[in-house]
Amino acid sequence: MDRQEHVDVERRNVEKKSDSSLVASTFIKYAAYLIIFFGFLYFLVQYIIPFFR
Q: What is the pLDDT of residues 9-47, one digit of tens each?
A: 788 888 777 778 889 999 999 999 999 999 999 999 999
What phi, psi does 3 have (nearest 5°)? Answer: -120, 125
Q: What is the pLDDT of residue 22?
A: 87
Q: What is the pLDDT of residue 12?
A: 84
pTM of this prediction exceeds 0.85: no
pLDDT at 48 over 80: yes
Measured CA to CA, the distance from residue 28 to residue 2 in angstroms comes to 64
**Is residue 1 very low, low, confident or very high in pLDDT (cuts 50, 70, 90)?**
low
